[in-house]
Structure 1
Amino acid sequence: MRMYQLIDALIDYGVTEELITVWDIDYARNRLFHLFDLKGAEYSSNHGGTVSEKVSDLLEEMIDYAVRIGMVEEDTTTDRDLFDAKVMDCLMPRPSEVIRDFYHRYESTGPEAATDFFYRLSEASHYIRMDRIAKNKKWFSETEYGRMEITINLSKPEKDPKAIAAARNEQEEETYPKCLLCKENVGYAGRLDHPARDNHRIIPMDLEGEEWFFQYSPYVYYQEHAIVLSRSHRPMKISGQGFDRLLGFIEQMPHYFIGSNADLPIVGGSILSHDHFQGGRHDFPMAQASVEEWFTWEEFPDVHLGIVQWPMSVLRLRGTDRSSLSELGEKILHVWRSYSDEDVEIRAASADGTPHNTITPIARWRDGAFELDLVLRNNRVNDEHPDGIFHPHEEVHHIKKENIGLIEVMGLAVLPGRLLHELGALATCISEDELETTALQDEHLAKHVPWVRGFLNGSNLTQEEAYRLLQDEVGKRFSLVLEHAGVFKRTTQGQEAFYRFLEAARQKGGS
């Protein structure tokens, strides 16, 4: 029977990838028999070693079988994913075993060995869906701020209409876990509006006397894309304590960076209801950007403070004493929260007291010192810019309309999947001299035509040359997106306003 072949092949995979040991084989096999309602009488050990497909192919065929016999209710991506996690959980070590092995490696070999183990486990368990992530399109684009990283996200599956309709009919009181980041997601079976997490594991960490948890994102946008989440389901809050936790994490994991989305709508991330950070083993373009000018702060002689050459408004704090960085960062945050400058559209709060100023912080260890980058944010809207004054303006919505969160702030554009087709079709129109005809008449391409006119010099290009040109220009357009999000513009007026803020911060922060 084919299912027995697939089960043995999956178990071979589990042993090879060190999800299980040889002592777990019978246990894992029996769990899979039970999951698929197989009696086992037809099983023969001769089935082993006869299947060599990739694990994603094995799982696809196994789930096809589950669909045929009615174990999977609907043959949709959502329903299949809910069952996929249950199959892999049959090969997963218990959470306590994962935590024990992580900290054994941490203590005996070091933090890099520990994260290498945990990341490999997260990939091998199919929690991180590398088969889907491989579909993402990535490239680099040279700009005046350095090389921007561009990715078109194709890995996150769109919700099936049937799943959306079914989820809408779910009981409103279904609130467990409270969100996608709660620690209670470990081992959760999932539902139509909440992904299965049977094969999900997390690592407890102490950050400044609080219990937090370390995990990986299932849809990694960069190398070892990690999430660090509070034990408590509490709203995001940028604070001096948060800076302490970021730098405390770096002290424990110096090979990673870590940062936080801002804590206000428009300039914040997609999940503001649960306090969390994002980190990983990746050197972002902003981290590589140079400092235009260093300043001194009399109260903190051991901290270097500089303005980063970046399209957004970034202060870089650098020093070997992390408590000094955190304390200075808190003073800057405190001043920024209440800072207004009408000349450059910055107002700290609306008339009703609604706050607008906050910070996106990023921490790292570089060349023997801690660095804490503070990206100044403001979420005001007005009639001209109803989506946000310091948000991508309408002229760039054809490329990026969504919030500029932590990942984009650091120079990695996460662009919508629609662009893959649109750029390809635009390249064809350019190569066939149909920009003003076919492209302009296509509802999906017409929005790009004014942008293309701005850089197309009229020379004849092949489709391949046109596509490369479009890729380069997307990066430049993304730089403009970030400039829109910057509170102090890269103009004489904007930079003078930046200096005014620094002077105000020195005067108020030093008191």
Structure 2
Amino acid sequence: MTESIYTHVQRLLQYGIKKKLITEWDLDLTRNAILDVLGLRDWDVIEMGEEEEPSLFSILNSILDWAEAQGKLEADSITYRDLLDTKIMGCLVPRASEVIRTFNDAYEQRGPEAATQYFYEFSQDVHYIRTDRIAKNQHWLGPTEYGDMEITINLSKPEKDPIAIAAERNMIQRSTYPECLLCKENVGYAGRVNHPARQNHRIIPVELADELWYFQYSPYVYYNEHCIVFSEEHKPMKISKKTFERLLGFVEKFPHYFIGSNADLPIVGGSILSHDHFQGGNHEFPMAKAPVEKEFSFREYPDVKAGIVRWPMSVIRLSGNNPNDLVELGAYILACWTTYSDESVDILSHTEGIPHNTITPIARRRGTSFELDLVLRNNRTNDEHPLGIFHPHQEVHHIKKENIGLIEVMGLAVLPGRLKEELRILGECLISDDPVQEIETYPEVMKHLHWALGIKQSHPQLNPANVQQILQQEVGNIFSKVLEHAGVFKRDLAGNQAFVRFLHSIVQ
């Protein structure tokens, strides 16, 4: 017998009680709000048994299936289902002031880790972080000469469905509210076909460098407690001394988190350059584990340790107990780098008045010490590399063609979902009697042909049991090359000498 919609709603209410999103005093209010969303005007009393409690995903999916059968969805597509299930969950989410108060109480009484743990669990419980989709992502480690790189194939973030694309194209008036996906006005927003619903979204105010910023989690977390910290104002990304103050101020408040910023120029910057923001979380990236391979010092900052990090990109690491020293020295290095040129290694700070040099900064704590990594970036292009001289080159585009942002810089490859199926097909082709003929029958994997034949030659032991593991290892090696391409000072004799020249030019 098919369960009634009232059973699914009752289960959702029980879920809200269990997760402490609502109390027994909120039951009637919340039930009526959900009924209103579903267009129902009555209620059947449901006696719930002791059967195994269904997951939130199962409950919501059952409600959405009912809504589709009743013609209450504009279309049975992922976009319209997301708009409705978020609206339903919004009925169970406390007001912003209550969430902020609970976070601050946890911070004051039990410390920053307790506060972020509460907020992270809350963001999952209200279905803002869609754990059912994130679980689909593939993760593995790829051993390289720089340590184990983290690889993830992103399968959690849904692509727009054709129905939503058509509806967006036919929209008469294109709204500009909220201005972008990061703006604080997203809290509680109902969404539309070209903007996700956010009734279940809450943010925490955080003061950084005497300014109001906001703290939230990414709905599609790529690592543990993947958070976003964004400016109250919708203003463009800008790396400056103020950036270092904010980053170090954040890790002073939340010492168990790292935080970093994408660069502020196209090609080497992040996907949203229009709104100043950072990304952080409770995770140690491969770059954070990389050692300093060459130390140097600044006479005016005797308490700051400085050095070049053993990493495929060009990284200067500063560490010390006084965050103000790191802010001042970081600002000095930024100022020097933004005007530095070395044509022998293709580094030009400006062409026709257009700036090319900037920095991707990352801050973290090491006990009582503060650490600031400054990753040198340059976004210049030329005829040979029209997408960027210090950008993934053509030879690796079959794996990674997109910009190298903060997360990739630190050693976590976020690769497109297409690779899951492509690697599966490639594995079957490689263990066949004629890999070339097999690969040529699949247009979607032809771009991997040269790479695949190299793998076949270097791994004569390929067999059905190990082929996918070897392919994953080789993807890690490709990602290591991707980062080397993005490094401004290459990991060869000429590049090492050029890096030292830059350091000699700035050491006081």
Tell me whether the two structures share a fold, i.e. TM-score over 0.5.
Answer: yes
AA partner of residue 196 (structure 1): A
Greater Cα offset, 137-146 or 444-453: 444-453
Q: Which residue of 2 aligns with 1:411?
A: 411
Q: Map Cα deviations across residues 133-171 of structure 1 (whole Å, 9 max, x no partner).
A: 000000001100000000000001110112112112324
Aligned residue number for residue 93 of structure 2: 92
Aligned to 2:207: 206
Correspondence for 2:6: 4
Which 10-residue stretch deviates more, 169-178 or 293-302? 169-178
Aligned position for 2:329: 328
- Equivalent residue of 2:351, what SS? coil
Aligned partner of residue 150 in structure 1, secondary structure: strand
Counterparts of 2:357 and 2:173 in 1: how far apart (Å)?
34
Cα offset, 1:47, TM superposition: 4.6
Residues 30-81 of structure 1: per-residue CA shift (max 9 Å, x gap): 11111112222x4114257667321101101101222222322111111110
Distance (whole Å) between structure 1 residues aligned to residue 215 and residue 340 of structure 2: 34
User: For residues 8 and 109 of structure 2, what CA distance do their matches in structure 1 show?
Assistant: 37
Aligned residue for 1:455, secondary structure, equals helix
1:302 aligns to 2:303 (yes or no): yes
Give the equivalent residue in structure 2 for 1:186: 187
Aligned to 2:36: 34
Closer/same/farther in 2, CA of residues 440 and 265 from structure 1, 3 Å limit: same
SS in structure 2 at match of 1:279? strand
Residue aligning to 2:370: 370
For the residue of structure 1 that corresponds to 2:99, the secondary structure is: helix
**1:41-190 superposed matches below 5 A:** 42-47=43-48, 52-190=53-191
- More deviation in 23-32 or 396-405? 23-32
Q: What is the one-letter code of the residue matched to 1:465?
A: N
Shift of 1:460: 4.3
SS at match of 1:238: coil
CA shift digits 1:99-157 (9 cap, x unpaired): 00000000000000000000000000000000000000000011000000000000011
1:283-432 matched pairs, under 5 angstroms: 283-351=284-352, 353-432=353-432
What is the letter of the counterpart of residue 360 of structure 1? Answer: T
Point out where structure 2 has 5 or more consecutive residues left out of the alignment.
none
1:254 corresponds in structure 2 to: 255
Q: 2:19 aligns with which of 10, 14, 17?
A: 17
What TM-score results when the alignment is normalised by the length of structure 2? 0.97
Letter of the 1:219 partner, please give it. Answer: Y
5 Å-filtered alignment, 1:269-288, equals 269-288=270-289
Q: Give per-residue Cα distances to partners, 1:205-234, cap 9 Å, x unaligned.
A: 100110000000000000000000000000
Alpha-carbon deviation of 1:26?
Answer: 1.6
Distance 1:358 1:228, change over 3 A: same
Which amino acid is the alignment partner of residue 338 of structure 2?
A: R
Contact 2:239–2:358 (Cα < 8 Å) also in 1: yes
Q: Indicate conservation of the 8 Å contact 1:318/1:370, yes or no.
A: yes
CA deviation profile, 1:488-511 (whole Å, cap 9, x unmatched): 0000100100011111222xxx4x
* Letter in structure 2 aligned against 1:396: V
Contact 2:7 2:46 in 1 (8 A): no
Q: In structure 1, how many angstroms separate the alpha carbons of the residues matched to 2:304 and 2:459? A: 52
**Does the CA contact (< 8 Å) of 1:185 and 1:200 recur in 2?**
yes
* Offset from partner CA, 1:448-490 (integer Å, 9 cap, x none): 1211222323624222311110000100110000000000000
In 2, distance between residues paired with 1:205 and 1:290?
32
Amino acid at match of 1:87: I
Tell me the amino acid that sits aligned with residue 426 of structure 2. Answer: L
Instruction: List runs of 5+ in structure 1 lacking aligned partners.
Output: none
1: distance between equivalents of 2:87 and 2:477? Answer: 44
2:51 and 2:441 map into 1 onto residues whose CA distance is: 54
2-side partners of 1:308 and 1:51: how far apart? Answer: 52
Stretch deviating more after TM superposition (480-489 or 497-506): 497-506
Give CA deviations for 1:294-353 in whole Å, capped at 9, x if unaligned: 1110011111111000000000000010010011000000011111100000000112x1
Report the counterpart of residue 435 of structure 1 in structure 2. Answer: 435
Match of 1:229 in 2: 230
Instruction: Report which stretch shifted further, 123-132 or 435-444.
Output: 435-444
Q: Which moved more, 1:113-122 or 1:27-36?
A: 27-36
Kept in 2: contact 1:319–1:369 (CA 8 A): yes
What is the total number of aligned residue pairs between the two structures?
Answer: 505
Amino acid at match of 1:2: S
Aligned to 1:191, the other structure's residue is in SS state: coil
